[in-house]
């Protein structure tokens, strides 16, 4: 039996709704144990819109609930203001994430599946984090980590995460790129069980620098890492991103490594939106999330699809199983 915990995300968005919809599909007659960290009043409100098909119990602390009974962990009541980031929605989301991190780091749960948050609401609530990824990395005591996106059609990773474009070139170094690739290779081999992974590396500049005419990062940083002894059998590139995706070359690789956020997130979401999964690689814990945001415009209307959240659960379950298999060998 594995233990999974879901967070509520921003309570003014679609998080509570898509978690209940997901639990409706996976929690019944399961051999796993499920918890959902969500304010009691928010869960009760969402349950009026989407009737839970699973048994549940409301509690104020984590405990190993009986199989087939979802433990809804409430950390107080928070005011809902549908469709807007607020201090209450940011605080509820943060407390949910914080508790899930404590449970995962202390190995009381095997994986965390996080609902979408509003970075604006988190900031309004006084918490200085750019996103989930950085929170779990800090609480896990990890310096190097990678934001990855997983799907049946394409896997992707980022060399830099939530960084302003004008800061990306200074953040790209040979050491940081090597650390990222080491994490990616370990993740592909252990978490996804791909024995001989093939990775495509994108360039930073237009036309991958055009031999140094449009930037030198490819020549000075990216190519030396790709051709290094430990990596060259796994890596190809740097590719010009526009031609790479226009020619569907991503289909030839197990993962595409981009240099900045939108470089790979735009094509990834065009190919996979609604089915892709955000995964934080390089952590001792397993954390997955949908590949979309809070969808404030359709919140609390029973319009949101749980497909990406459902895939986030399936990937978390797969990664837990693969890690257990690897470390037991």
Query: For the chain, what is the HEC assignment?
Result: CCEEEEECCCCCCCHHHHHHHHHHHHCCCCCCEEEEECCHHHHHHHHHHCCCCCEEEEECCCCCCCCCEEEEECCCCCCCCCCCCCHHHHHHHHHHHHHHHHHHHCCCCCEEECCCCCHHHHHHCCCCCCCHHHHHHHHHCCCCCEEEEECCCCCEEECCCCCCHHHHHHHCCHHHHHHHHHHHHHHHHHHCCCCCCCEEEECCCHHHHHHHECECHHHHHHHHHHCCCCCCCCEEEEECHHHHHHCCHHHHCCEEEECCHHHHHHHHHHHHCCCCEEEEECCCCCEEEECCCCCHHHCCCCCCCCHHHHHHHHHHHHHHHHHHHHHHC
- Walk me through the domains of the chain, giving residue ranges and CATH numbers: 1-142+283-329 (3.40.718.10), 143-281 (3.40.718.10)
Query: Block means of pLDDT (10 residues each) for the chain, length 329 residues?
Result: 96 98 93 96 98 95 81 96 97 97 96 97 93 91 94 96 92 95 97 97 94 93 93 96 96 98 95 91 96 96 97 98 91
Residue-level pLDDT at 39: 98
Residue-level pLDDT at 209: 86
pTM of the model: 0.94
Residue-level pLDDT at 29: 80
Residue-level pLDDT at 28: 85
């Amino acid at each position: 039996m594995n233990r999974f915990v879901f967070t509520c995300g921003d309570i003014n968005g679609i998080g509570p709704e898509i978690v209940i919809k997901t639990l409706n599909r996976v929690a019944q007659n399961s051999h796993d144990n499920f918890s959902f960290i969500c304010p009691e009043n928010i869960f009760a409100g969402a349950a009026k819109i989407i009737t839970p098909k699973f048994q549940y119990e409301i509690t104020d602390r984590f405990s190993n609930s009986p199989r087939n009974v979802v433990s809804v962990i409430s950390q107080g009541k928070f005011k809902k203001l549908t469709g807007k980031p607020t201090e209450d929605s940011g605080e509820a989301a943060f407390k949910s994430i914080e508790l899930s991190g404590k449970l995962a780091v202390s190995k009381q749960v095997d994986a965390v599946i996080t609902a979408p948050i509003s970075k604006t609401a988190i900031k309004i609530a006084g918490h200085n984090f750019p996103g989930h990824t950085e929170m779990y990395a800090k609480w896990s005591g990890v310096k190097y980590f990678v934001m990855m996106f997983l799907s049946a059609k394409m896997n992707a990773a980022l060399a830099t995460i939530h960084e302003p474009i004008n800061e990306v070139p200074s953040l790209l170094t040979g050491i940081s790129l090597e650390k990222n690739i080491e994490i990616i290779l370990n993740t592909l081999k252990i978490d996804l069980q791909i024995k001989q992974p093939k990775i495509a590396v994108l360039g930073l500049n237009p036309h991958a620098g055009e031999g140094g005419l449009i930037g030198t990062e490819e020549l000075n940083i990216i190519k030396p890492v790709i051709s290094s002894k430990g990596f060259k059998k796994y890596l190809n590139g740097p590719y010009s991103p526009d031609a790479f995706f226009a020619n569907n070359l991503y289909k030839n690789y197990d993962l595409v490594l981009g240099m900045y956020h939108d470089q790979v997130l735009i094509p990834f979401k065009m190919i996979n939106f609604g089915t892709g999964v955000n995964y934080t690689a390089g952590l001792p814990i397993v954390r997955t999330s949908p590949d979309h945001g809070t969808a404030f415009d359709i919140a609390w209307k029973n319009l949101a699809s749980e497909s990406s959240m459902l895939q986030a659960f399936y990937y978390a379950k797969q990664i837990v199983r693969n890690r257990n298999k690897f470390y037991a060998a």
